[in-house]
Amino acid sequence: MSTTTLTPAPTDSVPVKAAPGGEGRIGLRANLRHISALVRRNLLQIKKDPESMFDVLLMPIVFTLLFVYVFGGSVGGSLGGDRQDYLNYLVPGLMAMMGMNIASAVGTGVNDDFRKGVMDRFRTMPIARSSVLIAKIVVELGRMLVAIAILLAMGFALGMELGTSVGGLLEAIVLAGVFGAAIMWIFILLGLSMKTAQSVQGVGFLVLMPLQFGSSIFAPTQTMPGWLQTFTDYNPLSNLADAVRGLMMGGPVAHSVWITLAWAVGITVVVAPLAVRKFRKRT
């Protein structure tokens, strides 16, 4: 009588699902390794789809030229100067705006990944759930830095003058990046909560427009109605724009910097855990 040996079927193609609570046993080094791998994955996506960088490459140029040459004469006059003075006022404000506009892309990207099933695949892996979202933020921060570099290059090409020092400029970039990363958590939560990428864009637009134009990004707030000035005083984008402007052009910055950092920390502490929890539970 012959004996038949049964060989177990290979299971390489079967996704291994992390045990409940397994994320808590993942160490810092492993977590950083997961984030690094996911960052590479997201960068490869950009490499395969270079058109996804069009907003980063073109938005700073379009906004700078549009506002400087359409509104620069009149707003510059209200500042007691000319178009050149408005350029020095506008570019730091646009730096504050870059994070908001690019953050909206994070929400649509996360929503689209869920629609394609990519996020479901990630959740079957024994990796920290937060690493997936943090990797998204790291890549978008890189895109934001590219946009800021183009914005500054455009500003200096048009004659912008740095009123402080290179150190102040670098501090302004770091502050804009910190606040931008905090705002990205809001849009990630929005992307996880809405059903379609179109709805994320629609809601994001309704959030962005009042915050951007009801601030000191594009024009001084002194000539605005009293009720709108009250809104701008509490608008975090106004504090960020004033802080960046002070770090680059000179003037008092302590109050605006601390308020901006308080907003960034508060948003991250409150929204980041909600986004991670939503990521775990979404189907």
Residue 119: the pLDDT is 73
Residue 16: the pLDDT is 36
* Token pair of 140 as six digits: 């978008």
Residue 19: the pLDDT is 38
Q: Domain locations in the chain?
A: 31-281
Judged against a pLDDT cut of 70, whether residue 258 lies above it is answered with yes
Least confident of 94-98, 107-111, 246-250: 107-111
* Token pair of 170 as six digits: 């670098």
Residue 129: the pLDDT is 73
pLDDT-derived band at 283 (thresholds 50, 70, 90) equals low
Judged against a pLDDT cut of 70, whether residue 2 lies above it is answered with no
Residue 147: the pLDDT is 93
The residue-averaged pLDDT of 45-54 equals: 83
Alpha-carbon gap, residue 188 to 248, rounded angstroms: 30
Whole-model pTM: value is 0.83
* Integer angstrom CA distances of residue 138 from 133, 135, 142, 243, 268: 9, 5, 6, 23, 14
DSSP structure class, residue 98: H
Residue 265: the pLDDT is 96
Please provide the average confidence, as pLDDT, over all residues in the chain: 83
Residues written for the chain: 283
The residue-averaged pLDDT of 212-232 equals: 87
Alpha-carbon gap, residue 56 to 40, rounded angstroms: 19
Judged against a pLDDT cut of 70, whether residue 8 lies above it is answered with no
N-to-C CA span, the chain: 53
- Between 185 and 109, whose confidence is greater? 185
Task: Report the 10 Å Cβ neighbour count for 164.
Answer: 16
What pLDDT, in 10s, does the model give residues 17-39? 443 444 456 667 777 888 888 88
Residue 267: the pLDDT is 95
Residue 5: the pLDDT is 42
